[in-house]
Amino acid sequence: MGVVNYLEALKLQEKLTADRKIHKITDTLLSLQHPPTYTLGKRRTDHNLLVSEPELKAMGAELHYTERGGDITFHGPHQAVLYPIISLRDVGLGARKYVENLELTMIELASLYGVQACAGQKGETGVWVGEKKIGAIGVRISSGITSHGLAFNINPDLNYFKHIVPCGIADKEVTSLQKEAERVVPPEEVIHDQLIACFIRIFGYTDVISKDSASISSYNLEN
């Protein structure tokens, strides 16, 4: 979908989630990027935002409160975002296994570039390269239907992360695929497609339809 305003993407997720609950659509995957945006989860951990809202506006960033799980995080250009709108019942997954599959999706993508990533230890969420975070996860599950999802750092401006305690974990760095890979990574469209392919494989989808139009760009998924 290219770069999409956060609130526009949120409204689209809400519509698709409602449609999925009444079986109007099949499982759907949104692939996009956001302009500079900070989001807080439903725990409202404002103390992990280290600058004021006027300062955020001055740097051209937005702040939004959401109903997803997880702590504060940053979304911005050169970061691949996936928002799965799927029925966990239909794919036979519980919430924990669903999150583990999102982690595996990012771990597999990183491995394509020789980057050894792993899931967080000691309750830390997301995907890490050593002590540095390369991918974040924040999900919402309503009546068994998922929304929100994952954000994988391709080559974002990491300075934006200095204004928050990323995901509420102090004294940890944030990294990117470009920073960790030992070669120049391909165009972002290629990496987005590879991330989608990893997701499809790990979740076991076999029938995938790509949709692109002025109103929506998504992948309809069926097992």
Query: Which residues are identified as catalytic?
Result: 167
Question: Tokens 């997301």, residue?
Answer: 126
Distance CA 140, CA 130 (A): 27
Residues belonging to the binding site for substrate are: 68-75, 136-138, 149-151
CA–CA distances in Å: residue 65 to residues 70, 149, 188, 191:
12, 15, 28, 28
Burial of 124 (0-12, 13-18, 19+ CB in 10 A): middle
Q: What are phi and psi of 7, to 5 degrees?
A: -65, -35
Question: Tokens 């969420």, residue?
Answer: 125
Residues belonging to the binding site are: 68-75, 136-138, 149-151
